[in-house]
Structure 1
């Protein structure tokens, strides 16, 4: 009897609601991403070009670390979303004329580079192979 007869396929299982602990982990990763984005916005302008590299490496570490911690790509998406929300809120100018980002090359590299790092880490974060060494592959 094959997997598609009678019992259904293992890949066609209905989605289940995430556990409360997983939702809490994603919320914590979202907040961590926002903190890393705000810190990166301050650091990238302070020590150019080393600060820019430090901010982007910190963001990439947060995204990949979230994917590893939750064992899925959603763990990279949550801090990436927090990072983008924080950075977009910091780019908006206030009525008083104050803003955090200047119109320099470093600011644009931080914004575009951070978005590129977020997309790369979210799409290439983890594969579909099981991470346990006890699993037999290819059967």
Structure 2
């Protein structure tokens, strides 16, 4: 069940990332994409199977769309909004990984 939810959140994150890239040239589209992504990341519980898979799907989609197309043009514009979107992608990855819960278990503990 964990793998299925992680896969669904990975695809959902990629869909939100695609929508954010598609609308980032409009100021309200960029704002809507950033707020929707931030709300989803905040609402999902931390963990590899939930928040991190959504954030990874979002960031991978934005990174994939930032590569130049065969025609030589870019999907993400080289202006303030485009750079804000790319910076937010880095922040999504950092937040997703930084909020992972501490590992539990007896590995690494000293006896006594």
TM-score, length basis structure 1: 0.64
Q: Point out where structure 2 has 5 or more consecutive residues left out of the alignment.
A: 103-112
Superposed, 1:10-29 pairs within 5 Å as: 21-29=1-9
The residue that corresponds to 2:38 in the other structure is 60
Moved over 4 A (4+): none
Superposed CA deviations along residues 54-104 of structure 1, whole A, max 9, x for unmatched, are 11111112223332xxxx422111011111111111111122123211110
User: 1:118 & 1:96 partners in 2: Cα distance?
Assistant: 29
Say if 1:117 and 1:95 are closer, same or farther in 2 by CA, change over 3 A: closer
Report the equivalent of 1:51.
29
Q: Which moved more, 1:31-40 or 1:56-65?
A: 56-65
Aligned residues: CA RMSD: 2.2
Contact persistence 2:10–2:57 (CA under 8 A): yes
Q: Check the 8 A contact 2:59/2:92 in 1, yes or no.
A: no
TM-score, scaled to structure 2: 0.77
The answer as to whether partners of 2:62 and 2:89 remain within 8 angstroms in 1 is no
What is the aligned counterpart of 2:72 among 83, 97, 100? 97
Show structure 1 runs of 5+ residues with no match: 1-20, 128-139
